[in-house]
Amino acid sequence: MVVNQIPFEEFRMLIRRQGLRVAIGPFNVCIHTSYKPLIEQLYLLYSHYRIVQDEIAEFHVRIVTERSLRNPFKRNVRFLLDGQSPFESFPQEQALAALEWGINLAIAVRVNHLLLLHSAVVEKNGHVILFPAWPGSGKTTLCTVLSYHGFRLFSDEFGLMDTQRQLFLPIPRLMPLKNESIAVIRNYLPDIVMGRPIPNTQKGTVAHVRPPEKSILLSKHTCKARWIIFPKWIADTSVKIEAISDAEAFMMLASNAFNYEALGAAGFGAVANLIRSCDCFKLVYSDFDSVMEVLHQLTNET
């Protein structure tokens, strides 16, 4: 059963009463809230996720409303993970952003049975490309474009790697576009479903893109990695891709991962194997057409 196969009222009852359980990649997340505007947004943006009411959920999250301490006439929302609040409260219009950040945080601090690289991940021809996060990478924007242009979305944030089998696991979540990239993507991909822009968050204005249905449908299909590409968006440059040294790629990938250090020797071995099995590049780009041309060329070469 998928979210858009049940009527809104039933969805609303689920999420208010026993909590809505959805499969997001390898994890089941149980979401509770009574805050109606959030329920409406989730019904639209989570519409392709599978409902798993009778399965175990690893993450139990809530968005609750409360009165603001500073202004008693204003309502705030608070994110709870297993009843504990890891953040300050948020203005109520940021409920969706709070929920999405909260789930990311929960994954980042708790999951250690997989290596968690900080990277966007897409798949093409049965192989995975990693776009690790580094300042100015614009990985979410690039990832949004690719996942609606012939690449399968794994994640815009987490490179989940099973270190024993050296496989990447898809975890397609909402993609939070920031500031200028919202309008850029609206122009470039006018047909995609996007949540309302949420202004004044800690990261500026944020709007969440719904992942492609097919990517969610195929989210049990794992793949090995073939390319690691460190992207950088620079205005008005022509696209350029060049190889970088393995040692440099190793250090950039490891130093920016969520749990590389926690995994100890297993993490070291996994990253070494990963680097050995991948070609590593730096990519500079400014427009999507030419970057896709380069990537299609790269992925079709082999």
Distance CA 295, CA 302 (A): 12
Closest to another protein by CB, 66 vs 293, is 66
In degrees and rounded to multiples of 5, residue 105 shows phi and psi of -60, -45
CB of 115 vs another protein, minimal distance in Å:
11
Q: Does 268 bind another protein (CB under 8 A)?
A: yes
Asked if residue 86 lies in contact with residue 79, where contact means CB atoms within 8 angstroms, the answer is: yes
Closest to another protein by CB, 102 vs 211, is 102
Nearest to 116 by CA among 136, 130, 135: 130
Q: Does 278 bind another protein (CB under 8 A)?
A: no
Distance CA 277, CA 257 (A): 18
Q: Does 85 bind another protein (CB under 8 A)?
A: yes
CB of 188 vs another protein, minimal distance in Å:
37
CB of 162 vs another protein, minimal distance in Å:
11
Residue 274 is encoded by which pair of tokens?
Answer: 């990963």
Q: Tell me the sheet residues that pair with 288.
A: none
Among the residue ranges 78-86, 95-103, 177-185, 219-227, the one whose residues contact another protein (CB under 8 A) = 78-86
Distance CA 117, CA 154 (A): 12
Q: Does 84 bind another protein (CB under 8 A)?
A: yes
Closest to another protein by CB, 234 vs 262, is 262
Residue 296 is encoded by which pair of tokens?
Answer: 């299609």
Kindly write down the DSSP assignment for every residue of 153-183, as one continuous string.
EEESSEEEEETTTTEEE-----EEEETHHHH
CB of 95 vs another protein, minimal distance in Å:
18
Q: Does 296 bind another protein (CB under 8 A)?
A: no
Closest to another protein by CB, 74 vs 113, is 113
Residues 226-265 within binding reach of another protein (CB under 8 A): 245-248, 250-251, 254, 259-265
H or E segment and range at residue 182? helix 180-188
CB of 185 vs another protein, minimal distance in Å:
31
CB of 74 vs another protein, minimal distance in Å:
17
Kindly write down the DSSP assignment for every residue of 16-66, as one continuous string.
HTT-EEEEETTEEEEEEE--HHHHHHHHHHTTTSEE-TTS--SEEEEEEEE
Among the residue ranges 6-14, 50-58, 123-131, 178-186, the one whose residues contact another protein (CB under 8 A) = 50-58
Which of 17, 67, 74, 113 touches another protein (CB under 8 A)? 113
3 state SS of 220: coil
Which of 82, 236, 242, 301 touches another protein (CB under 8 A)? 82
Q: Does 200 bind another protein (CB under 8 A)?
A: no
Asked if residue 244 lies in contact with residue 279, where contact means CB atoms within 8 angstroms, the answer is: no
- Could you give the C-alpha distances from 203 to 138, 153, 227, 284, in angstroms and in order? 13, 23, 29, 23
Q: Does 66 bind another protein (CB under 8 A)?
A: no
Nearest to 296 by CA among 146, 137, 110: 146
What are the residues binding another protein (CB under 8 A)? 28, 32, 54-58, 60, 69, 82-88, 110-113, 245-248, 250-251, 254, 259-265, 268-269, 272, 275
